[in-house]
Copies of this chain bind each other. A is one copy, B any other.
């Protein structure tokens, strides 16, 4: 199995080859790619390919393309969300400026497509539609996310749809594109996509859960940030749906107060969450999507022992505490 260092090396080398002048356009790309990240998406493409073959030459460009696309979304999302920091470093629009962030994000997306040039025509023709559809859906997810901020209420199905588009479809596309490039059958590729979409939803719900109920020592950062910012997470949407009478009043009062101590707000909202059983309900929902995902890989037409790395990854993501 390929390691993180090799992945980084390939992507950095490809970016170096593709980048020209002026430096104002290309420096932010190198800065973003060099700033780390877990490289989960390329890793998934390699893992999927490993199920069907061992020749990595077609997987490298796909893995690079997906990671470059993911980084393009980070640059543009950070402008839209006005985020000052990413991976503990200033975001591109802060370190340079908004125009440079828009344009270098555009260039990052083009370079993501450029990586696909390295594929043989028959593989290119199969993966390009998956890539395009996914890329559009990721934009849709970001637009829904922005819309939700201005809506008085959002339903659970609407929320699940948004996180599916914004996060899960790219995870799923990594697996599917890796599989296609390794010569998988259509049904195996589709089942891996199913696995990825549902694992992605479970992953995002786990994120929501940890922000409220994570152990700060293990979580590595302060919990409760979503609560302080009134972020419409699965937890808050579910709580607003279930809260009645006194709980509902207290919850709405917490959300609407302009001047409330952050610690008090976190404690109050968390105690309402607990009272309404939101922690258990969220864990149940996570389990639901996790189970759908593991069912999907059982349908794969590959020897059971080959599935171990994917199963382990799914378990690790589910049991993660940070």
Q: Which of A99-107, A213-221, A275-283 touches B? A: A99-107
Q: A142 interface residue, CB < 8 Å from B?
A: yes
Contact of A146 with B by CB under 8 A = yes
Name the residue on B nearest A131 (C-beta): B113
The 25 listed contacts between A and B (C-beta, < 8 Å) are A18-B136, A20-B136, A21-B140, A22-B144, A22-B147, A24-B143, A24-B146, A25-B139, A25-B140, A25-B143, A79-B102, A103-B142, A106-B109, A107-B139, A109-B109, A110-B132, A110-B135, A110-B136, A114-B129, A114-B132, A114-B133, A117-B128, A121-B121, A121-B124, A124-B124
The reply on A111 being an interface residue by CB < 8 A is yes
* Interface contact B124-A128, CB-CB below 8 Å: yes
A116 at the interface (CB under 8 A from B): yes
Q: What is the minimal beta-carbon distance from A267 to any residue of chain B, in angstroms?
A: 33
Say whether A125 faces chain B, with CB atoms less than 8 Å apart: yes
A176, CB-defined interface residue at 8 Å: no
Chain B residue with the shortest CB-CB distance to A132: B114
Beta-carbon contact of B80 and A102 below 8 Å: yes
Instruction: Judge if A122 is at the interface, Cβ distance under 8 Å.
Output: yes
User: For residue A18, which residues in chain B have a CB less than 8 angstroms away from its CB?
Assistant: 136
How many angstroms between the C-alpha atoms of A319 and B273 in the bound complex? 73
A76 beta carbon closer than 8 Å to chain B: yes
Copies in the assembly, this chain: 2
Nearest Cβ on chain B to A106's Cβ, whole angstroms: 6
**What B residues does A102 contact at CB under 8 A?**
76, 79-80, 102
Interface contacts beyond A21-B140, A106-B109: sample of 10 additional A-B pairs, CB < 8 Å, sorted by A = A20-B136, A25-B140, A25-B143, A79-B102, A100-B143, A107-B139, A114-B132, A114-B133, A121-B121, A124-B125
A117 touches B132 (CB 8 A): yes
Contacts of A100 in B (CB 8 A): 143
State which size class the interface on A falls in. Answer: 35 or more
Partner of A136, one of B111, B132, B139, B142: B111
Q: Is the CB of B25 within 8 A of A103?
A: no
Q: Across the interface, do A140 and B20 meet the contact criterion of CB distance under 8 Å?
A: yes
Q: Inside 8 A of A103's CB, which chain B residues have their CB?
A: 76, 80, 139, 142-143, 146
- Cβ–Cβ < 8 Å partners of A139 in chain B: 25, 103, 106-107, 110
Within 8 Å by CB of A147, from B24, B129, B144, lies: B24
- In Å, the complex CA distance between A110 and B173 comes to 15
B99 touches A114 (CB 8 A): no
Bound-complex Cα distance A51 to B121 (A): 26
Residue of B nearest to A140 (CB): B25
Q: Are B129 and A117 in contact (CB under 8 A)?
A: yes
Contact check, A116 vs B128: say whether CB atoms are below 8 A apart: yes
Q: 0/1 per residue, A231-244, Cβ < 8 Å to B?
A: 00000000000000
